[in-house]
Amino acid sequence: METEEQKRKRLEKQLDDTHQWPCPFSFKFILPANEASIAALKAIFTSSAQFSERPSRKGNYTAYTIIETVGSAEDVFMRYESAARIEGIISL
């Protein structure tokens, strides 16, 4: 069984093998459509990040694709770990 540390190292190697840092990276999230959640998500990224959003059919959730230039696999992990603190978020 793979430990969390082993999994992170494996994923970091995969990112390093497939990306030349710094480069644009696409982040994807689904979160409840409320102002607090949206503000918390936007606070994680820099002002140069490009946000696109798509509301769910009933408008209860919003899917976000965020493209931001990041400097390393560690930057990617930091963004996803910060986003994981937002209540109800789903990281893709």
Residue 27 confidence (pLDDT)? 98
Backbone conformation region of residue 49, classed left if phi is above 0, alpha if psi is from -120 to 50, else beta: beta
Q: What is the pTM of this model?
A: 0.91
Q: Are 67 and 24 in contact (CB under 8 A)?
A: yes
Q: Could you read off the pLDDT of 4-46 as tens digits, one per residue?
A: 999 999 999 999 999 999 999 999 999 999 999 999 999 999 9
Which amino acid, residue 11? L
Q: In whole angstroms, how far apart are CA 68 and each of 36, 56, 88?
A: 21, 23, 23
So what's the pLDDT on residue 23?
Answer: 97
Instruction: Considering the domain delimited by 4-91, tell me its CATH architecture.
Output: 2-Layer Sandwich (3.30)
- Please, what is the average pLDDT of the chain? 96
pLDDT value at residue 28: 98
| Coil, helix or strand at residue 88 | coil
What's the pLDDT score for residue 43? 97
